[in-house]
Structure 1
Amino acid sequence: MRKLLLALTAAAGLSLGAPAQAQVAIGETGLTATITGTVASDYLFRGISQTRSRIAYQSSVELAHASGFYVGGFISNVRFAYTDARQEVDVFGGFRFSLADFNFDVGVQGYLYPGYSRAPGTYNLDFFEGYLKATREIGPVNLLGAINVSPNYFGQSGTGVYLEGGADWKTGIWDVTLGGRIGYQWIERNVRFGTPDYAWWSIAVSRDFAIPNIGTITASVGYYDTSISRSDCIYGTAQDICNARAMGYLTFKF
């Protein structure tokens, strides 16, 4: 039973990297629709694989107003061991604004797993987080930071607090962008979640490729790792979901 509970805590969320976006104005309403589509070699959430190292297919849509308010949704396949959870559907909403030389984004995001059958004695997977993000551009470098707080994190593992920082540098060489991220996840009930508190980090390169009369494809490859030892990962050596890995993705904007 303990193994089953740990398997339910693989973790969930948005894929790494900022996907390319296609924005479409909706008449004179001040509203803009943004649509993305991504194919990735894996689905990592804060360094942990959500698809057990399998290919991920993802899409998102966002409706934003000129005032700064927005709502949206995200969908991806997932594959958690010993569960029937196969889809993740996120809903989110918030407000973006600028202050001094910084851009801020404050909002709430819910992570839902429709189709998951909760067995007696196990825990609910769904959870939500409040978040605050900030970015600042300094020449060709975009600095960013974020904090996410959940009152009851994935698998009902108690309070979860997450901090992240990073930077993206437009190198000016072949239109390549070099990006790096580092984050740290605190979890109140580590045994229930399946890992200790941990750090993760990544470095990646990306580039846009324009396709005449169709749109743009953003290609990215990167290296990702966590501070979680193999024996401390969910299911220990039975799963390869916390280890270092290379990852690539293609994001489409039409």
Structure 2
Amino acid sequence: MKKTIISVAAVLAVGVTSASAADLPAKVYSKAPPIVAFDPWDIAFGAAVMSNYVFRGVSQSNNNPSVNAYFEPRYNVTKDLQLYVGTSWSSISFANRAAAEVDIYGGIRPTFGAFAFDFGVYGYLYPGGKCVDTAGVGAGALCPGDINSISLANGNVLKKDLSFYEGYAKVNWTVNDMFTIGANEYYTPSFLNSGAWGNYASLTAKFTAPTTVFGPSGVGMYVSGEFGRQWLGTSDSFYGLPGTIFANGIKYKDYNTWNVGVGFNYRVFTLDLRYSDTDLSKADCNAFTSDYTATLTGDVSPINPGGFGSKWCGATFIAKLSADVTLQSNIK
């Protein structure tokens, strides 16, 4: 009888143990998390106001304030591969009175670990321009029959259409959370539609301060800089100097440019304070830009024998306030 009781107890014990074991998976499993579909599309857009629109060390706004806005749809093929197109608009002040600079661009951004690449094509459009001649409205050899041409007292000339395109390649290496180093390369067969090829290469560096610098305020800070060199070819005959060895076009001066600055960001806003400069002389700057404000300063060079000098390529301080938004990061 005792043996029977023991056997029954054993069976019950085994049954309870088996039941408990069967219950374990039910305790481990929980309600399945909702499936979140991957949305590969994103849009970046923003606007900025700056005290001076400087492009590779040269003012595009006659050293006056400028505004800018951009719109950039993006498609993320994977988390490490992005396709994009975009457009931007900037206010400028050129001798040909172009209405604005309108940029259209597109490319691909692959990422490999700490290295982020960017390859694409950039188109610069300058609608609304007029031909600039020195011999009088509609009467000069450079703008024959153009009754809307412009004459400048300083003798500079400029084409009606300055539109051109560049191919580019960029890379940024994120060393760690604070340091980023980059390199950029741009090439065009005709810079500003001058007939002169252009090649621009630069190195960049950026230090992002730890978030603890400003405590819980949410304000971030960075320090960044760039050193670049612009190589330029020979223009077509439109910019030639009759009676000189440059009658069929002028060989623009190659130059170095650099900038360094500090920035503060809060949410989508960034305030950037920057110093920019080049090693272009006032004479060579005038020949390169056809600055309509150039004055007779006695600055002479082989490609600028008239003695007019431009201040568009000198040292300048730039303050820029911008707002940048992406749908996935800032709105959703």
Shorter-chain TM band: 0.7 to 0.9
Task: Among all aligned residue pairs of Structure 1 and Structure 2, give the percentage whose two residues are the same amino acid.
Answer: 27
The one-letter amino acid of 1:209's match is: Y
More strand by share: 1
Q: Equivalent residue for 1:202?
A: 259
Decide which structure has the larger Cα Rg and report it.
2
Q: Equivalent residue for 2:314?
A: 243
More helix by share: 2
Residue number among 113, 117, 124 corresponding to 1:104 in the alignment? 117
Equivalent runs, 1:169-208 vs 2, <5 Å = 169-172=207-210, 173-174=213-214, 175-189=220-234, 195-208=252-265
For each residue in 1:196-243, what CA deviation from the matched residue of structure 2 results, as whole angstroms up to 9, or x when unmatched?
110100110001124xxxxx3200101100010122211465532101
Q: Equivalent residue for 2:162?
A: 125
Aligned residue pair count: 222
Q: Equivalent residue for 1:56?
A: 66
Superposition TM-score, scaled by structure 1 size:
0.81
Is the contact made by 1:53 and 1:241 (CA closer than 8 Å) also made in structure 2?
yes
For each residue in 1:159-193, what CA deviation from the matched residue of structure 2 results, as whole angstroms up to 9, or x when unmatched?
11110111010133443200010111111026768
Larger RCO of the pair (alpha carbons < 8 Å, separation 6+): 1
Runs of 4+ in 1 over 6 A off after TM superposition: none
Q: Equivalent residue for 1:10?
A: none
Is the contact made by 2:232 and 2:251 (CA closer than 8 Å) also made in structure 1?
no
Q: Equivalent residue for 1:71?
A: 85
How far off its partner does 1:118 sit? 3.5
Unaligned runs of 5+ in 1: 1-26, 211-215
The one-letter amino acid of 2:221's match is: V
CA distance in 1, matches of 2:197, 2:103: 19
How far off its partner does 1:98 sit? 1.5
CA distance in 1, matches of 2:182, 2:229: 15
Q: CA RMSD in A?
A: 2.1
Q: Equivalent residue for 1:168?
A: 206
Q: Equivalent residue for 1:89?
A: 102
Unaligned runs of 5+ in 2: 1-36, 133-142, 145-157, 215-219, 240-248, 287-293, 300-307, 326-332
Is the contact made by 1:228 and 1:242 (CA closer than 8 Å) also made in structure 2?
yes
CA distance in 1, matches of 2:254, 2:195: 12
